[in-house]
Amino acid sequence: MERTLILAKPDALQRGLVGRLLTRFEQKGLKLAGLKLMVMTPEIAAQHYEAHEERPFYPGLVRFMTSSPIVAMAIEGIGAIAICRKLMGATFGCNAEPGTIRGDFGVSNSFNLVHGSDSPEAAEKELALYFKAEELLEYDLNSFQWIYDPVEELGQEG
C-alpha cells in the first residue's frame, strides 16, 4: 500500500467542494487514513513550499494557502500517488481534462483546488507536516476485497 497527502486548498473549501473532492478519491477505491480541517500556518507553508522560495510566485502562494482553512487528507491504496495525481488533473484548471478534479471544477492558473504529493519521498515528508503518527489510522477497509484482486495486486494467494 502507498500513502499520499492530498490538500483541499482554500479555494476548494470556500467553494464548498471538499466533500466532492473526497468522494472522487473514495469512489476510485482509495482509503482515507487521516483527515484534518486546519489553517496552514506560515511556518508549515514555508516548509511545504521551500523548493519554491526563490520563485516570484512564492509570496502570493503562501498568502493564498494561509488565507483560509484547508483540509488535509492522507489517502492510501496501491499506486495511490499516481492515481491521485491523475484524478486531480493538470496543474492549471484551464489545461485539465474534463473528468478530473481541476478539469471539472477549475479554470484558474492561480486557484487549482487541490495539492497531491508527487513522489513517495514527498508524500512521507508532507504527511509528517500535517499529521502526527497517531493521527494516521491503520484499519482494514472491507471494500478492498472488491477493489483489489489479492493474487494480482498484492501478490498473495487467493
Dump pLDDT digits (tens) for 94-146. Answer: 999 999 999 999 998 889 999 999 999 999 999 999 999 999 999 999 999 88
Instruction: Tell me the CATH number of domain 2-147, given options 3.30.70.100, 3.30.70.1290, 3.30.9.30, 3.30.70.141.
Output: 3.30.70.141
Q: Is residue 10 a contact partner of residue 64, using CB atoms and an 8 Å limit?
A: yes
Contacts of residue 32, defined as CB under 8 A and 6 or more positions apart, other chains included, come to 22, 25, 26, 73, 74, 75, 76
Q: Given a cut of 60, is residue 10 above it in pLDDT?
A: yes
Q: pLDDT category, 48, cuts 50, 70, 90?
A: very high
Show the CA angle centred on residue 47, arms to residues 67 and 89, nearest 5°.
Answer: 70
Return d(Cα 108, Cα 117) in angstroms, integer.
20
Q: pLDDT category, 153, cuts 50, 70, 90?
A: low
pTM of the predicted model as reported, rounded to 2 decimal places: 0.92
Share of the chain above pLDDT 70, in %: 96
Active-site residue identified among 22, 102, 115, 130: 115
Q: Is residue 96 a contact partner of residue 33, using CB atoms and an 8 Å limit?
A: no
Does the active-site annotation cover 115? yes
